[in-house]
């Protein structure tokens, strides 16, 4: 069939109606007015929420906010705490390596204006969250990968380091004895740090940093550095971030989905639940063998979290009922 005929046929049979179409431009001012009614920006107290139990990281982010820092600085500095912690085997230095024994990191950051920066498959630089921020602020690009990202970092003065610690190396050598790659729920070491914060201006930013799945194939990139999947922020609505089996989050663009559901009126909790249901539905029976967890925050400072299986947890730093700021740990079971 000739292409022209095919298109005509498709127009008739697939889409039913063939109409002469003209493109109607959006009325920008009207659209903006609609948006501001969603925002309804009342004064909101600062808040930090992060995947997993990372009280030191949320406390650091909170300290930044308390000193009138921006939500962007808060999430960056919060994530840096975990990146530097060699005991955290799924983020930064001390992260589990890939099958070849190389630690490769992914990270992204998104600000209140919708700017975004990400790095992926970076070796030898601990603070990839800061490198992602540099991509966002100092390049015309959004993502840098591999050697290009690393060299960009070295040019900026980022330290070159060996990220494979003795204990990660030992665990990898043990794993190599069988090289069994069948992630087990919650044991495949996915403790990606996704963090969302609102500052004193009511602005939301988010960050996400990870070494990805332990013993992944060389070159594998998960959801964490991908806009809309591992993280998404829309300062008019809220933000969301993910942890768990990146391949599944990628296929449902989970964080973007949650933000859009909140835009349509769902609470962060409802939106997280809907996104998890979507992941489960799309996976057939496979969901039984993987974990995915989301956290979300809206413009009003409301939070939500949901996961497929038990043992996902998250940490919130916010103003408590007694008017003291407190670090709350939620175990999702």
Asked if 213 is part of the footprint of ligand ASP (rule: CB under 6 A), the reply reads yes
Find the helix or strand (DSSP H, E) in which 205 lies: strand 204-210
Output 82 or 223, the one with its CB closest to ligand ASP: 223
Only one residue has tokens 């940093």, namely 209
- Give yes or no: 192 in active site: yes
Output 46 or 230, the one with its CB closest to ligand ASP: 230
On whether the CB atoms of residues 284 and 277 are closer than 8 A, the answer is no
Output 101 or 302, the one with its CB closest to ligand ASP: 101
User: How many C-beta atoms lie closer than 10 Å to residue 7's C-beta?
Assistant: 11
* Closest separation in Å from C-beta 201 to ligand ASP: 30
- Set 51, 126, 192, 210: catalytic member: 192
Draw the binding track, 78-97, toward ligand ASP (x: CB under 6 A; -: no contact): ------------x-------
Joined together, the tokens standing for residue 303 give 């939070």
With contacts defined by CB under 6 A, name the span among 115-123, 243-251, 257-265, 294-302 that binds ligand ASP.
Answer: 243-251
Dump strand ranges (E) for 93-142: 105-110, 116-122
How distant, in Å, are the alpha carbons of 106, 242, 266, 276 from that of 86?
Answer: 16, 22, 38, 31
For 103, counting Cβ atoms within 10 Å of its Cβ (0-12 exposed, 13-18 middle, 19+ buried), the class is: buried
**Residue closest to ligand ASP (Cβ):** 246
Only one residue has tokens 């919708």, namely 114
Could you say which residues in the range 175-204 bind ligand ASP, by CB under 6 A? 190-192
Asked if 248 is part of the footprint of ligand ASP (rule: CB under 6 A), the reply reads no
With contacts defined by CB under 6 A, name the span among 63-71, 208-216, 274-282, 314-322 that binds ligand ASP.
Answer: 208-216
Asked if 223 is part of the footprint of ligand ASP (rule: CB under 6 A), the reply reads yes
Output 71 or 210, the one with its CB closest to ligand ASP: 210
**DSSP characters for 266-306?**
--HHHHHHHHHHHHHHHTTTGGGG--EEEEEEETTS-EEEE
Return the closest-CA partner of residue 303 out of 280, 323, 319, 281: 319
Output 154 or 181, the one with its CB closest to ligand ASP: 181
With contacts defined by CB under 6 A, name the span among 59-67, 149-157, 239-247, 316-324 that binds ligand ASP.
Answer: 239-247
Active-site amino acid positions = 192
Return residues touching ligand ASP (CB under 6 A). Answer: 90, 190-192, 210, 212-213, 222-224, 243-246
């Amino acid at each position: 069939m000739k292409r022209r005929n095919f298109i005509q046929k498709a127009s008739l049979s697939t889409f039913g109606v063939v109409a002469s179409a003209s493109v109607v431009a959006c009325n920008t001012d009207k659209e903006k007015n609609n948006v501001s009614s969603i925002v309804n920006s009342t004064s909101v107290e600062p808040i930090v929420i992060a995947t997993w139990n990372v009280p030191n990281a949320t406390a650091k982010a909170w300290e930044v906010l308390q000193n009138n820092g921006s939500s962007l600085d808060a999430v960056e500095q919060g994530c840096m705490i975990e990146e530097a912690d060699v005991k955290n085997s799924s983020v930064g230095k001390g992260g589990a390596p890939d099958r070849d024994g190389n630690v490769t990191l992914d990270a992204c950051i998104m600000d209140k204006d919708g700017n975004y920066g990400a790095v992926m498959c970076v070796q030898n630089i601990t603070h990839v969250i800061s490198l992602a921020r540099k991509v966002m602020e100092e390049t015309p690009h959004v993502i840098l990968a591999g050697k290009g990202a690393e060299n960009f970092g070295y040019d900026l003065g980022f330290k070159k380091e060996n990220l494979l610690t003795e204990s990660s190396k030992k665990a990898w050598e043990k794993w190599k004895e069988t090289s069994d790659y069948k992630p087990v729920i919650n044991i495949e070491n996915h403790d990606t740090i996704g963090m969302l914060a609102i500052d004193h201006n009511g602005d939301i930013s988010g960050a996400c940093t990870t070494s990805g799945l332990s013993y992944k194939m060389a070159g594998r990139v998960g959801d964490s550095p991908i806009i809309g999947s591992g993280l998404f922020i829309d300062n008019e609505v809220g933000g969301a971030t993910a942890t768990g089996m990146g391949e599944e989050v990628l296929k449902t663009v989970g964080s973007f989905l949650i933000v859009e559901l909140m835009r349509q009126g769902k609470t962060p909790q409802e939106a997280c639940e809907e996104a998890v249901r979507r992941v489960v539905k799309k996976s057939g029976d496979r969901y039984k063998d993987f974990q995915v967890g989301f956290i979300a925050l809206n413009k009003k400072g409301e939070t939500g979290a949901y996961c497929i299986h038990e043992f996902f947890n998250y940490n919130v730093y916010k103003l408590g009922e007694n008017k003291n700021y407190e670090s709350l740990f939620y175990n999702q079971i």
